[in-house]
């Protein structure tokens, strides 16, 4: 029987609205529920390893102090060959399912991480598993082993917490994207792109579709980042997390086929990433306004590949006048030649 204490805790977890509340309930209530001495929640990045420890008990403090050792020695964990820690399964498992308590305590990993605080038995389970971030619950017992009923309750709480955190993660992303979209205006809308884990990029809204037709061509509905840029994006977004299930926006410059542009990036647990770019409207030309109207006209033709002589003919002015205007453009944009001026001018028009 799971008992009243389990159902009370499950109801509290169901009412939680964020990762911190769920973790606080787990570390405070699960020890009494299963008879553990201490419960700790660890967060792990798939790229940089274990990165956060929740709780303030002696084992949690020791783990927090020795996180570098945990990451350095994790491949020597005594059950590493038996359990894939990135995909540990839906239910919990005990250390003693795979190794004797004595062998566990004598392992190099346990000696260097826990030292004299080494527990006799540990229950493990994942409360959140994804491509980018994982969160695990560890229940420690100094002596003896966990009873069958304790393990049954542990599994039930794992499933409860995982379901709630999946919901919290989805709501976090939905809310964050909605708020970011409100920063756009009718004249300067947000173009929304989504990057799949395999690096394929697709346009999500009308503003993004309009850009993609310019950048990718009418017959290329999807843009492929390639392995190097996928890896670079993943590395840049590895720290874009408030906790294991709550991503935060990161500002970055990225090339989706139209040159480097400013984007707001939001990673998802699934590995997908939202990229939002604010288009510039008619009233958003403050930077370009450092050039006169005639200088902007000249730069527009230069950007089209025209020479000074050709631009002069089109505009009905002399080539010498074009060159004088270009000298002024170089000075105002802080560049030394027309190629650099053209690149800077186009960047300003894009809003960079």
Whether the CA torsion 161, 165, 168, 170 is positive or negative: it is: negative
Q: What is the pLDDT of residue 134?
A: 95
Q: Is the pLDDT of residue 123 over 80?
A: yes
Mark out the alpha helices in the chain (DSSP H runs). Answer: 3-15, 19-34, 58-65, 67-73, 101-106, 108-113, 148-181, 206-215, 227-236, 293-303, 308-315, 319-333, 338-350
Q: Tell which wins on pLDDT, 350 or 149.
A: 149
Q: Is the pLDDT of residue 83 over 60?
A: yes
Nearest C-alpha neighbor of 315 from the set 290, 346, 294, 289: 294
Q: The tokens of 347 are what?
A: 């960047």
> Per residue in 181-195, pLDDT tens?
887 776 678 999 999
Q: What is the mean pLDDT of residues 97-105?
A: 93
CA 279 to chain centre: 23
Dist CA 297 CA 315 (whole Å): 8
> Is 326 within 8 Å of 298 (Cβ atoms)?
yes
Q: The tokens of 178 are what?
A: 């909605």
**How many percent of the chain have pLDDT more than 90?**
68
Q: What is the pLDDT of residue 23?
A: 96
Q: What is the mean pLDDT of residues 318-339?
A: 88
Q: What is the pLDDT of residue 333?
A: 82
Q: Is the pLDDT of residue 140 over 50?
A: yes
> Per residue in 205-226, pLDDT tens?
988 988 888 888 767 789 999 9
Q: What is the pLDDT of residue 343?
A: 85
Q: What is the mean pLDDT of residues 333-350?
A: 83
Residues contacting residue 188 through CB under 8 Å, at least 6 positions apart: 278, 279, 280, 281, 284
Q: The tokens of 20 are what?
A: 């911190």
Residue ranges of domains in the chain, CATH in brackets: 3-175 (3.30.450.80), 186-278 (3.30.450), 288-350 (1.10.10.10)
- Confidence grade of residue 286 (pLDDT, cut at 50, 70, 90): very low
Q: Is the pLDDT of residue 200 over 90?
A: yes
Q: What is the DSSP-derived secondary structure letter of residue 189? A: P
Average pLDDT, the chain: 90
- Confidence grade of residue 235 (pLDDT, cut at 50, 70, 90): very high
Quote the pTM value.
Answer: 0.76
> Per residue in 40-49, pLDDT tens?
999 999 999 9
């Amino acid at each position: 029987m799971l008992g009243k204490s389990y159902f009370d805790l499950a109801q509290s977890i169901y009412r939680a609205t964020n990762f911190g509340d769920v973790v606080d309930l787990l570390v405070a209530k699960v020890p009494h529920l299963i008879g553990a001495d201490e419960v700790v929640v660890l967060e792990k990045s798939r790229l940089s390893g274990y990165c956060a420890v929740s709780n303030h008990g002696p084992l949690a403090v020791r783990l927090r102090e020795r996180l570098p050792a945990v990451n350095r020695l994790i491949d020597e964990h005594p059950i590493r060959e038996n359990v894939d820690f990135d995909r540990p399964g839906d239910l919990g498992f005990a250390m003693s399912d795979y190794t004797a308590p004595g062998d566990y305590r004598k392992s190099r990993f346990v000696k260097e991480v826990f030292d004299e605080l080494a527990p006799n038995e540990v229950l493990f389970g994942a409360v959140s598993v994804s491509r980018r971030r994982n969160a695990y619950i560890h229940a420690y017992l100094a002596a003896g082993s966990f009873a069958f009923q304790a393990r049954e309750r542990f599994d039930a709480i794992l499933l409860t917490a995982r379901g709630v955190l999946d919901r919290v993660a989805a709501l976090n992303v939905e809310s964050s994207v909605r708020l970011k979209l409100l920063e756009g205006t009718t004249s300067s809308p947000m173009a929304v792109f989504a990057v799949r884990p395999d690096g394929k990029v697709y346009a999500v809204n009308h503003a993004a579709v309009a850009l993609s037709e310019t950048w990718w061509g009418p017959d290329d509905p999807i843009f492929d980042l390639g392995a190097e840029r996928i890896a670079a994006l993943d590395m840049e977004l590895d720290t874009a997390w408030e906790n294991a299930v709550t991503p935060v926006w990161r500002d970055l410059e990225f090339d989706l086929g139209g040159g480097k542009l400013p984007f707001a990036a939001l990673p998802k647990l699934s590995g997908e990433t939202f990229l939002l770019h604010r288009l510039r409207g008619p009233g958003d030309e403050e930077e370009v306004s450092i050039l006169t109207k005639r200088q902007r006209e000249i730069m527009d033709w230069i950007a089209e590949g025209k020479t000074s002589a050709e631009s002069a003919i089109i505009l009905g002015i002399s080539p010498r006048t074009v060159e004088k205007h270009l000298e002024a453009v170089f000075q105002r944009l802080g560049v030394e030649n027309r190629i650099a001026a053209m690149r800077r001018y186009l960047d300003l028009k894009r809003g960079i």
